[in-house]
Chains A and B, each alone.
Chain A
Amino acid sequence: DIVMTQSPATLSVSPGERATLSCRASQTISNFLAWYQQKPGQAPRLLISGASTRATGVPARFRGSGSGTEFTLSISSLQSEDFAIYYCQQYNNWPLTFGGGTKVEIK
């Protein structure tokens, strides 16, 4: 199975600042990577697929990048609604696997 490792586990950021989240795959997955956002009490929401393509309605301040084994989700100028847990997911191989998540909290 492909192991997805996210770092850091928790990121403390002030509103208006930039957040950079990392996701590493245990083997190359090309650009077969998605990012999700989950807020308390809610189901996850798709943000990005294909490592860098934003889903419908996702603000431009969310930017995904990377390929191979190293991926990044950047959130420029954090808004109050962006404080949440973010998960990456690979779909290069079965079983589909998720990272452990990064919690973005208010500093």
Chain B
Amino acid sequence: EVHLENSGGGLVQPGGSLRLSCVASGFTFDDHALHWVRQVPGKGLQWVAGITWNGGVEGYADSVKGRFSISRDNANNSLHLQMNSLASEDTALYYCVKDRYASDFKWFDSWGQGTLVTVSS
């Protein structure tokens, strides 16, 4: 069974930084691209960032480009999201998500339980 364990969320002040992590199990980790998708509580879904199986390609939503950085460690089955210059608009539940494919960004066939990031003074 696929399991994506999110961690690293919390309360941070505007302008601050936070690093989210996701540890995966139950599938061949480097056979899949991975993503972060966020959701403001009670609102819709927004794709934040994605990374291909070997880290060769990264993609970002315009709203986070230059501030967020996605990375993966295939030796440890982990995915990370480094978030800098955080603003109140970044407050959301952040999901670690598995792509069906390895080398392109397609659809999301497994989701973690999410980790809440709150940006507030």
CB within 8 Å of B: which residues of A? Answer: 1, 32, 34, 36, 43-46, 49, 55, 87, 89, 91, 94-101
Contact yes or no, B45 A55, CB < 8 A: no
Q: Which residue of B lies closest to A4 (CB)?
A: B44
Q: What does the 1/0 interface line of B81-121 toward A look like (CB < 8 Å)?
A: 00000000000000100001000011111111110000000
The 10 closest A-B CB pairs, nearest first, are A43-B111, A34-B107, A96-B47, A98-B45, A49-B107, A91-B106, A46-B109, A100-B44, A95-B61, A94-B59
- The answer, among A43, A87, A96, for a CB contact under 8 Å with B112, is A43
Are the C-beta atoms of A87 and B106 separated by less than 8 Å? no
Whether B62 sits at the interface, judged by CB under 8 Å, is yes
- Minimum CB distance partner of B48 in chain A: A95
Q: In the bound complex, do residue A91 and residue B107 qualify as a contact, i.e. CB atoms below 8 Å apart?
A: yes
Q: Which residue of B lies closest to A35 (CB)?
A: B107
Known: A43-B114, A89-B107, A101-B45. 13 other contacts (CB 8 A): A34-B107, A36-B45, A43-B113, A44-B108, A45-B111, A46-B110, A49-B100, A89-B45, A91-B106, A95-B61, A96-B35, A96-B47, A100-B44
Q: Shortest CB–CB separation between residue A50 and chain B, in angstroms?
A: 8
**B24, chain A: closest CB distance, angstroms:** 14
Main secondary structure of the interface of A (DSSP, over half): loop
State the majority secondary structure of interface residues on B: strand
Name the interface size band of chain B: 20 to 34
Q: Per a CB cutoff under 8 Å, which of B47, B50, B59, B107 touches A97?
A: B47
Residues of A within 8 A of B113 (CB): 43
CB nearest neighbor in A for B6:
A43
User: Given the complex of chains A and B, what is the CA–CA distance between A76 and B109 in angstroms?
Assistant: 23
* Bound Cα distance from A101 to B29, whole angstroms: 30
Cα A22 to Cα B94 with chains together (Å) = 26
Question: Is there contact, CB below 8 Å, between A46 and B45?
Answer: no
Q: List 30 A-B contacts (CB under 8 A).
A: A32-B106, A34-B108, A36-B45, A43-B95, A43-B111, A43-B113, A44-B45, A44-B108, A44-B111, A45-B111, A46-B107, A46-B110, A49-B107, A87-B45, A89-B107, A89-B108, A91-B105, A91-B107, A95-B47, A95-B60, A95-B61, A95-B62, A96-B35, A96-B47, A96-B50, A97-B47, A98-B46, A98-B47, A99-B44, A100-B44
